[in-house]
Chains A and B, each alone.
Chain A
Amino acid sequence: GAVVSQHPSRVICKSGTSVKIECRSLDFQATTMFWYRQFPKQSLMLMATSNEGSKATYEQGVEKDKFLINHASLTLSTLTVTSAHPEDSSFYICSATRTTDTQYFGPGTRLTVL
């Protein structure tokens, strides 16, 4: 149990376009979902925390207007990178929790902005 999926696994887009990444908890209801960004050979950097039905809480330095997060249901959260630029290229990973503090991670999405 506790499987988290992400879609797409890879995406390449042109500079200036927007990209949506989905995160789903497949076999449990996630009270909270998290979005991380990971640069090559580095640890994960938390971008934002989202609870179903409420606004996401962004970490300091993360532009909320650029990284739009929607958590419409207990099994789905989306991250939209708006007006993407090459510096937004990264590996984006989501995670989800049930009632405990254990986070279950998705497989990640590799975003490349040309």
Chain B
Amino acid sequence: AQSVTQLDSHVSVSEGTPVLLRCNYSSSYSPSLFWYVQHPNKGLQLLLKYTSAATLVKGINGFEAEFKKSETSFHLTKPSAHMSDAAEYFCVVSNPGGGADGLTFGKGTHLIIQP
């Protein structure tokens, strides 16, 4: 069994300041981990993916995430927030077999950017 916990339902930061969106997971396997972003009334866009290569994963739009096995965490960060980053962010874990029955979504974190 696997699970994903996004520790904050809402995060608010000022434009230009760092962003930290927290995600903890549990998995019986060595999982693949993803972060997706969803803007209002849009589908999900893949930000980045971890698949047991480098533990620090760089994604699009300046985002990155670090896989820490000892802490079972995969937090998403960005050095400087931009207004366009305001969106819903989902942390997702997949078991090595892939497929939807191995895909577990977090409940999402709503990122608010203050001007």
Bound state CA distance, A91 and B44, in angstroms? 12
Complex contact B103–A43 (CB within 8 A): no
Measured CB to CB, the closest approach of chain A to B72, in angstroms, equals 19
> Which residues of chain B come closer than 8 Å to A44, judged between CB atoms?
44, 90, 105
Residue of A nearest to B36 (CB): A105
Bound state CA distance, A6 and B43, in angstroms? 10
Q: B58 on the interface (CB 8 Å rule)?
A: no
Residue of A nearest to B96 (CB): A101
Q: A110 on the interface (CB 8 Å rule)?
A: yes
Complex contact A46–B103 (CB within 8 A): yes
> Which residues of chain A come closer than 8 Å to B36, judged between CB atoms?
105
Interface size bracket, B side: 20 to 34
- Our pick among A41, A49, A97, A110 for the contact of B41 (Cβ within 8 Å) is A110
Measured CB to CB, the closest approach of chain B to A97, in angstroms, equals 7
Measured CB to CB, the closest approach of chain A to B111, in angstroms, equals 14
Q: B98 on the interface (CB 8 Å rule)?
A: yes
Bound state CA distance, A47 and B103, in angstroms? 12
Besides the known contacts A43-B105, A44-B105, A101-B103, 16 further A-B residue pairs in the complex with CB atoms under 8 A apart: A4-B43, A32-B99, A42-B108, A43-B107, A43-B108, A46-B103, A49-B100, A93-B44, A100-B98, A101-B96, A101-B98, A101-B102, A105-B36, A105-B43, A105-B44, A108-B43
Ordered nearest first, which 6 A-B pairs have the shortest CB separation? A101-B98, A105-B44, A107-B43, A105-B43, A49-B100, A108-B43
